[in-house]
A and B are shown apart, each in its own frame.
Chain A
């Protein structure tokens, strides 16, 4: 079990931000205000990167700060790292047609 764990910023969020490095298989303490829960890290996730709090299906919104920060570009399993390899931002995308997200 990690000590500082990860910070969940809103109850709507499906990701939390690691406050320390997490090794694969480690239980990560998820802190939301005074509430805590545990998610097992599915892979190595460094400080400052995001961990999935639930399974997130391809095409579903990824929520942080209670707001959409992007769309899952593939199925993401609970405990996996969420970053540019599986999260697709949708705003300001000159490479996409309007409103289109891969």
Chain B
């Protein structure tokens, strides 16, 4: 099974062909206004007053987005090179991205003699890089070169019965072909961690899965809140889900049945291929950028949606460089948002498809999107802001 992608110097395959400008800020925003084919991360997380662990998470996210195969080349801009936190030093970010062999340029405001002079330089640089990227042609790549990340959201009881199992079947197919898949949302394995942990490739991975769930549950209890007023979220409850355990037991179906190779941090790149559990936060404003930084060229939102109505235009992605695909198994949700949803797996509930058959159809669509077909929300220029998953207090 093949898809048509852009070959990168490290042998990876882009399914899109962007020039990335990081971090967020005036220069990045204006360069992206002027130059088509560019992307930036819309995130105010600058690292200011953040712990070294959180600053490293921001750096890991920026570096990972730069290294993502969907990125042809990168501009790192800076207002004051060398006087900030070492983790986020432009030379460090640029150097780590350049290890992938792609072109990385540093745009230094001080060196250019001011912001507007730097903007002129940045615009010309970005135009040159976009032209350079446009000379690349798609060529066939094996499915083993694809990595996808999934989140299930606004989950209802169709999610656990059909929506998530069909994603799980897709994951099994990608992994059987030698590819890579990411899932996570640690709060939403609580109540199902005893099942999931058995799938670790060794005792250490199993222990890490249990530990992630235990730490998150301890954090939840320490708040004094009834978790049911937090997660399951109100739309889950309105969609028929009655407890966190029920939500989790449905949610883990999206991971399929493959062994779990490792537990990754938000934005961490895996060492090999296969299935990975990412210890992350379920928010759609956060999770997709993390998957893209881990290397996912495509991200999927498996929507329940039974608990809310009127959202015909769904969230358009924060994965920055990776397109977002929407799936649902709920016929009411499909009727509500046909211009946003890319795939319907409710055929399983209707008895028209088995999970296996729907998974095969979804894989076909994934290969099409990997080859250049746009997802529905990808046709919109709007991007929602990204919230990098930072776990420490701010100071």
B217 at the A interface (CB under 8 A): yes
B246 & A89 in contact (Cβ 8 Å cutoff): yes
B156 at the A interface (CB under 8 A): yes
A91 & B217 in contact (Cβ 8 Å cutoff): yes
Which of B187, B191, B240 has a CB less than 8 Å from the CB of A50? B240
B220 at the A interface (CB under 8 A): yes
Residues of B contacting A83 in the complex (Cβ-Cβ under 8 angstroms): 237, 240, 242
Cα A65 to Cα B240 in complex, Å, equals 15
Taking chain A's interface residues, is the majority helix, strand, or loop, or is none over half, making it mixed?
A: loop
A35 at the B interface (CB under 8 A): no
Cα A96 to Cα B306 in complex, Å, equals 29
B228 at the A interface (CB under 8 A): yes
B239 & A48 in contact (Cβ 8 Å cutoff): yes
CB nearest to A68 among chain B residues: B245
Interface size class, chain A: 20 to 34
B242 & A48 in contact (Cβ 8 Å cutoff): no
Residues of A contacting B195 in the complex (Cβ-Cβ under 8 angstroms): 67
What number of A-B contacts does a CB cutoff of 8 Å give? Answer: 100
B240 & A17 in contact (Cβ 8 Å cutoff): yes
A93 & B249 in contact (Cβ 8 Å cutoff): no
B226 & A94 in contact (Cβ 8 Å cutoff): yes
B32 at the A interface (CB under 8 A): no
> Which residues of B, 165-203, contact A by the 8 Å Cβ criterion?
187, 190-192, 195
CB nearest to B239 among chain A residues: A48
Interface residues in B, total, Cβ within 8 A: 38
Cα A1 to Cα B231 in complex, Å, equals 35
Residues of A contacting B223 in the complex (Cβ-Cβ under 8 angstroms): 94
A4 & B349 in contact (Cβ 8 Å cutoff): yes
A95 & B306 in contact (Cβ 8 Å cutoff): no
Which of B217, B223, B349, B351 has most chain A Cβ within 10 Å?
B349
A52 at the B interface (CB under 8 A): no
Cα A7 to Cα B187 in complex, Å, equals 26
Least Cβ–Cβ distance between A93 and chain B, in angstroms: 6
A92 at the B interface (CB under 8 A): yes
A92 & B240 in contact (Cβ 8 Å cutoff): no
A74 at the B interface (CB under 8 A): no
CB nearest to B160 among chain A residues: A65
Residues of A contacting B239 in the complex (Cβ-Cβ under 8 angstroms): 48
Contact A17:B161 (CB < 8 A) given known A48-B239, A87-B242:
yes
Contact A92:B190 (CB < 8 A) given known A48-B239, A65-B250, A83-B240:
yes
Least Cβ–Cβ distance between B160 and chain A, in angstroms: 7
Which of B161, B227, B246, B250 has a CB less than 8 Å from the CB of A93? B227
CB nearest to B195 among chain A residues: A67
A17 & B242 in contact (Cβ 8 Å cutoff): no
> Which residues of A, 61-92, contact B by the 8 Å Cβ criterion?
64-65, 67-70, 82-84, 87-92
A69 & B349 in contact (Cβ 8 Å cutoff): no
A89 & B161 in contact (Cβ 8 Å cutoff): no
A94 & B191 in contact (Cβ 8 Å cutoff): no
> Which residues of B, 231-246, contact A by the 8 Å Cβ criterion?
231, 237, 239-240, 242-246
Given contact pairs A17-B157, A89-B243, enumerate 16 new A-B contacts (beta carbons under 8 Å): A7-B161, A47-B332, A48-B158, A48-B240, A64-B249, A67-B245, A69-B243, A82-B242, A83-B240, A84-B242, A89-B246, A91-B245, A93-B227, A94-B221, A94-B227, A95-B226
What residues make up the interface of A, taking CB atoms closer than 8 Å to B? Answer: 4, 7, 9, 17, 19, 46-50, 64-65, 67-70, 82-84, 87-96, 98
What residues make up the interface of B, taking CB atoms closer than 8 Å to A? Answer: 156-158, 160-161, 187, 190-192, 195, 216-217, 220-228, 231, 237, 239-240, 242-246, 249-250, 306, 330, 332, 349-351
A-B pairs with beta carbons under 8 Å apart, 10 shown:
A17-B161, A67-B245, A68-B245, A70-B246, A83-B242, A91-B217, A91-B245, A92-B220, A93-B227, A93-B228
